[in-house]
Chain A
């Protein structure tokens, strides 16, 4: 009987329509914030449209082979351009970067949230954030002039001892500077602060009650971190890593300086060679109309990939228990 009352059919009662009259200030504020929000969205779409339009010449000329061809030759007729060689390099460099940056970022975030004293926490946080403010050109120059020659012997040692693993093998007489390994290492340093700050924010939201529960059971601090903090921050770690990956994929100046930018499909990360989409675009920009169109097409591919990566990252973070309040 009680269910009858609850069904709309059995009752002629209607919920009242609540109308709120907002003040003029609120109405204007609504409009301004709405248009700012829309502007960002429109800008994003415009960038996509622009890239699509400018790349149409190259795409219609090459067709699907643009996505499957390795090399980039504009001196032959018809020109043979393809993005696959560039994409391979981009993905490899970004993967190396994230491989180094994720443990470093997560561990530094753990140190800041769990181990250091409250006094140093503030300093360290701003230091890590300042790392993100260093222009990538500086990282690139430092990597090119200092790190690359320093790391070459390490690369040689790895190739000598672990050359049987395919990615560590090198060609005969190969040089070890300007390799994807070195470029990835430099990009890793640029990605660490991004990962560290997202992960730190997530770790800082670990419910103190759960941490105390673990400690009160007789846990060590590491046991508590393993049982409470890391599971809680899992979404943040994944999301932060993907955000770092997005940044690593798009990194430009440093890799333009550090890699020879010769498109090729190779997994030999220790020897000179490799190219990335963004680095290649920078070096070839300002060429003839067709090349520019080809570069735009390559840019479009990169744009879509980074957009996808970042969207997945924010979904992962916002769906996780820990990331609900974290903005990416």
Chain B
């Protein structure tokens, strides 16, 4: 099976665009390998899944007029947030390094999602929301008066808690929706659709029905379609607000694989309530906590391993061990 699935095997076929399962099945005579090649449950070996999903057969598709590609570092500097007169988040200093996965953990109501929404200026869409401090994307303050919110959001994409594909659009149109909305051009739209869906780990499931409506997919597929849609505009940072909380374990596994594969292409900041998930997917962790009638603060931050094995603050230890929250 491994031989047949190597990129060389595909390349030896004829043209690069041929998708590998189609080539594989006639070649492999035995039934068993074919059955293995069609796993629906999450495979434990992320590496193996990466081989079946995304053979490195083609050059990445480039956009015209989009943000410069590649992951970027996001830095929060003394970030505070208000809703009306209520201070909900105070003095958050956090570095989200380029090409890494940073997980924001903490109990409900501690301001994780608010912080996440501040990172791509979605926070200001809420009436009465206010903000202080600085968020820097590769050094540039995204709240600078000269910078438009929509230009920030082009560079910092977002995946929401509830999958929100455009239901009237086809799968293909959903993936390409961002191009028109963000006024970015692409000469190879088919290639971009394929690349984005492969990166989101959805290509194999939908490649034969790209024109069917996006709203007809299952919840987990919809969420991966939303990830593909965000990736199509090739942002530098991808924010994920509890992307798996509405999904079953199988779909969650697929999304986690997707996160692992995206790591070197885009900086990821993920809010999660699932401690195991934070441990599995993230390189860095920040623990948010809000006292009673107090704004949320970052109690502790650091490499995920350290945060889960030997945190400094006893509250962090209690939380990551599931003893409160």
Q: Decide if A218 touches B178 in the complex (CB within 8 Å).
A: yes
How close is B83's CB to chain A, nearest CB, in angstroms? 13
Q: Which of A14-22, A44-52, A72-80, A223-231 contacts B (4 or more CB under 8 A)?
A: A223-231
Residues A195-217 near B (CB distance < 8 A): 207, 209-210, 212-217
Hey, which chain A residues are within 8 Å of B127, CB to CB?
A: 117-118
Across the interface, A218 reaches (CB within 8 A) one of B162, B164, B226, B233, namely B233
How close is B155's CB to chain A, nearest CB, in angstroms? 8
Hey, which chain B residues are within 8 Å of A228, CB to CB?
A: 166
Hey, which chain A residues are within 8 Å of B177, CB to CB?
A: 214, 217, 227
Across the interface, A209 reaches (CB within 8 A) one of B120, B125, B150, B160, namely B160
B229 within 8 A of partner (CB):
yes
B158 within 8 A of partner (CB):
yes
Hey, which chain A residues are within 8 Å of B122, CB to CB?
A: 212, 215-216
Q: Decide if B164 touches A213 in the complex (CB within 8 Å).
A: yes
Q: Decide if A216 touches B166 in the complex (CB within 8 Å).
A: no
A231 to B166, CA, bound (A): 10
Hey, which chain B residues are within 8 Å of A218, CB to CB?
A: 150-151, 153-154, 178, 181-182, 233
The verdict on A220 contacting B160 (CB below 8 Å), with A214-B181, A227-B166 known, is no
How close is B211's CB to chain A, nearest CB, in angstroms? 17
A219 to B122, CA, bound (A): 12
B1 within 8 A of partner (CB):
no
Hey, which chain B residues are within 8 Å of A215, CB to CB?
A: 122, 125, 150, 153
| Chain B contact residue count (CB 8 A cutoff) | 26
Across the interface, B160 reaches (CB within 8 A) one of A212, A219, A227, namely A212
Across the interface, B181 reaches (CB within 8 A) one of A118, A224, A232, namely A224
Q: Decide if A231 touches B168 in the complex (CB within 8 Å).
A: yes
A11 to B203, CA, bound (A): 45
B111 within 8 A of partner (CB):
no
Most buried by A among B153, B157, B181, B182: B181
Residues A219-267 near B (CB distance < 8 A): 219-220, 223-224, 227-228, 231-232
Q: Decide if B233 touches A210 in the complex (CB within 8 Å).
A: no
A228 to B180, CA, bound (A): 13
Proximity string of chain B (179-200) to chain A, C-beta cutoff 8 Å, 1 when within and 0 when not: 0111000000000000000000
A322 to B162, CA, bound (A): 19
Hey, which chain A residues are within 8 Å of B230, CB to CB?
A: 216-217
How close is A112's CB to chain B, nearest CB, in angstroms? 15
Q: Which residue of B lies closest to A231 (CB)?
A: B168
How close is A269's CB to chain B, nearest CB, in angstroms? 37
Q: Decide if B226 touches A213 in the complex (CB within 8 Å).
A: yes
The verdict on A223 contacting B164 (CB below 8 Å), with A215-B125, A218-B233 known, is no
How close is B61's CB to chain A, nearest CB, in angstroms? 17
Residues B142-167 near A (CB distance < 8 A): 150-151, 153-154, 157-158, 160, 162, 164-167
Q: Decide if B164 touches A227 in the complex (CB within 8 Å).
A: no
Q: Decide if B164 touches A209 in the complex (CB within 8 Å).
A: yes
How close is A7's CB to chain B, nearest CB, in angstroms? 30
Q: Which residue of A lies closest to B153 (CB)?
A: A218
Q: Which residue of B lies closest to A207 (CB)?
A: B164
Hey, which chain A residues are within 8 Å of B160, CB to CB?
A: 209, 212-213, 216
How close is A143's CB to chain B, nearest CB, in angstroms? 39
A58 to B278, CA, bound (A): 83
Hey, which chain A residues are within 8 Å of B181, CB to CB?
A: 214, 217-219, 223-224, 227
Most buried by A among B122, B165, B177, B229: B177
Q: Decide if A210 touches B166 in the complex (CB within 8 Å).
A: yes
Residues B216-266 near A (CB distance < 8 A): 226, 229-230, 233
How close is B239's CB to chain A, nearest CB, in angstroms? 8
Hey, which chain A residues are within 8 Å of B125, CB to CB?
A: 212, 215
Hey, which chain B residues are within 8 Å of A209, CB to CB?
A: 160, 162, 164
Given contacts A216-B157, A223-B181, 9 further A-B contacts (CB under 8 A): A209-B162, A210-B166, A214-B181, A216-B122, A217-B154, A217-B157, A217-B177, A217-B229, A219-B153
What are the 8 tightest A-B residue pairs by CB atom distance, in nearest-first order? A218-B154, A218-B182, A219-B181, A209-B164, A216-B158, A217-B178, A218-B153, A213-B164
Give 15 CB contacts A-B under 8 Å: A117-B127, A210-B166, A210-B167, A212-B122, A212-B160, A213-B226, A214-B177, A217-B157, A218-B150, A218-B151, A218-B178, A218-B233, A227-B181, A228-B166, A321-B168
